[in-house]
Chains A and B, each alone.
Chain A
Amino acid sequence: MRRDKRGEDEVVVDRVACTAHGVCSVVSNGAIELDEFGYPVPSRLTMGRRDARELVAQCPARALLIARDR
């Protein structure tokens, strides 16, 4: 699990699974912007661990994942 001292996680978008529901944009209060086709612009985003978990749980397509270390 990628996690730094401030208790942050990195959320990554599974591009194959994402179906452009746009829920992530709403849940993240716009931190995740959507492109003209409704897909999230950033492929990874660092945020507090709790926010990250919340966001991952809300994606209806299960397209958001917590980044694993290589």
Chain B
Amino acid sequence: MSLVALLDDAGLTGRGGARFPTSIKLKSALETGADLIVNACDGEIGVHKDALVVAEHLDALQHGADLLARRVQWAAHRGSATERRLRNAGLRVLPVPSRYVASEESALVSLLHGGRARPIMRQAPISTGGKDAQGRRLRPTLVLNAETVWRVSQIERHGAAWFRGYGTAEEPGPRLVTMGGNVDRPGVYDSEAGVPMRDLLEAAGAVDVRGVGISGMSGGWLRGRDAWAATWSDAGLAPYGIPTGTGAVHVLGRSACPVDHLAQIATFAAGESAGQCGPCMFGVPAVASQLERLADGVLPAEEMLDLHHRLGMLPGRGACRFPDGVSRFVASGLRTFSAEVDAHLAGECVLMQERAGATR
């Protein structure tokens, strides 16, 4: 059986967050003789799984890459332990600046061709090649996340049925989950779609859970009580409007102010926008500054309309999906923590009230 058919049987989808069927990507890559970039950047905040795959499964990972393409480049953040490990193994490393969008698919392709590590505006999928804004010719390039490539090698070794023994029929296969935030045992866990989120939270030693952020800036939020009851899968999280995405789970404890947290992340995001596309370059900082004022309890309630309008203007208006992710992440946070948001609008942070209540 061909590798494409095998991956199709297994139902492998990209483990970098986008969940596109790997078999379809590979099929077009084989037709165009595409190069492969193995993306080991862990580009999403709170995700550490690619680092773990490189540290613990490098042989299998290399085997997977060899199955997929003749020419392979290994993308890792410059100066990271992952970069060192890849170099020590004699692999061709593509050092990536540690900026959020630098490890986006088209940014990596641009970097590989001597351009900057910034997303490229395109009308056709970047995997088919083309030209960048400077007229540089881009070879067809297949970009796959490191965990995805590792799964390819596992599927080749153990078969599609083995792979489908994990997860659900719609979201098959084992998956890595990175647990972080207010937990006793942060780290990368072996998991699969369909398990209760309670199992993940308990494994990581979460006790005090005000809310749970899923998939970093490309995901969204759940309230603590919903997180304890939810099922870990795209289907299970669909009612909350968020995907499992990159598989990061960030626990926010009761002593953390969620509004402050949202403002901090949005401010970080404002600095990470690649500064290429106006709606993102100006829209994200505008959102961040309103959130900062909300967190400080000085945003007039009337301005919430502006904030929501600005969030609504972000999606679909950049060369990459970064503004779309930020918009969804912030909107989800405002919805999930509406009680805390209302308290901030009233000039009283819930946490301040709780602390005052505890000492009374």
A interface, CB within 8 angstroms of B: 12, 14-20, 35-39, 41, 43, 65, 67-68, 70
**Given the complex, which residues of A lie within 8 Å of B310, measured CB to CB?**
36
Question: Which of A35, A68, A70 is the most central at the interface, judged by chain B CB atoms within 10 Å of its CB?
Answer: A35
Are A18 and B278 in contact (CB-based, < 8 A)? yes
Question: Is B316 part of the binding interface, using a Cβ–Cβ cutoff of 8 Å?
Answer: yes
Of all chain A residues, the one with the shortest Cβ separation from B123 is A68
Cβ of B277 within 8 Å of any chain A Cβ, yes or no, is yes
5 new A-B contacts, CB < 8 A, other than A15-B318, A36-B310, are A16-B121, A16-B276, A39-B317, A65-B123, A70-B124
Give the A-binding residues of B (Cβ under 8 A): 120-121, 123-125, 133, 276-280, 282-283, 286, 310, 313, 316-319
Nearest B residue to A44 by beta-carbon distance?
B316
Task: List 22 A–B pairs whose Cβ atoms lie within 8 Å, in order of A's numbering.
Answer: A15-B121, A15-B276, A15-B278, A15-B280, A15-B317, A15-B319, A16-B120, A16-B121, A16-B276, A16-B277, A16-B319, A18-B278, A35-B279, A35-B283, A36-B286, A36-B310, A37-B279, A39-B278, A41-B313, A41-B317, A68-B123, A70-B125
The total of Cβ contacts below 8 Å across the A-B interface reads 48
Q: Which residues of A contact B277 (CB under 8 A)?
A: 15-16, 18
Smallest CB gap from A63: residue in B:
B121
Q: How far is the CA of A18 from the CA of B282 in the complex (A)?
A: 13
Docked-complex contact A37 and B133, CB < 8 angstroms:
no
A60 to chain B, nearest CB (A): 14
Q: Look across to chain A and name the residue whose beta carbon is closest to the beta carbon of B315.
A: A43
When distances are taken between beta carbons in the complex, the residues of chain A under 8 Å from B121 are: 14-17
Which residue of chain B is the closest to A20 with respect to CB atoms?
B278
Distance between A51 CB and nearest chain B CB, rounded to angstroms: 20
Chain A residue nearest to B276 (CB atoms) is A16
Asked if B133 and A12 make an inter-chain contact with CB atoms under 8 angstroms apart, the answer reads no
Which of A14, A37, A70 is within 8 Å of B282, CB to CB?
A: A37
Contact for A39 among B133, B279, B319, CB less than 8 A: B279
State the CA gap A15–B310 with chains docked (Å).
17
The one of A38, A43, A70 that contacts B278, using a Cβ cutoff of 8 Å = A38
Given the complex, which residues of B lie within 8 Å of A36, measured CB to CB? 286, 310
When chains A and B are docked, how far (Å) is the Cα of A1 from the Cα of B130?
16
Nearest CB to that of A39 among chain B residues? B278
Q: Which of A14, A16, A18 has the most C-beta atoms of chain B within 10 angstroms of its own C-beta?
A: A16
Asked whether B133 lies within 8 Å of A17 as measured between CB atoms, the reply is: yes
Q: Which residues of A contact B120 (CB under 8 A)?
A: 16
> In this complex, what residue of B is CB-closest to A2?
B123
Shortest B30–chain A CB gap in Å is 19
Residue of B nearest to A38 (CB): B278
Q: Give Cα distance in the complex from A36 to B317, angstroms.
A: 14
Distance in angstroms between the alpha carbons of A18 and B121 in the assembled complex: 11
B residues less than 8 Å from A18 (CB atoms): 277-278
Cα distance A68–B122 in the bound complex, in angstroms: 10
- Given the known interface contacts A17-B133, A41-B313, A43-B316, the answer about A12 and B278 at a Cβ–Cβ threshold of 8 Å is no
Minimal beta-carbon separation of B225 from chain A (angstroms): 38
Bound form: Cα–Cα A12–B124 in Å = 13
Kindly provide the distance from the CB of B133 to the nearest chain A CB, expressed in whole angstroms: 6
Distance in angstroms between the alpha carbons of A48 and B310 in the assembled complex: 30
Beta-carbon contact of B317 and A37 below 8 Å: no
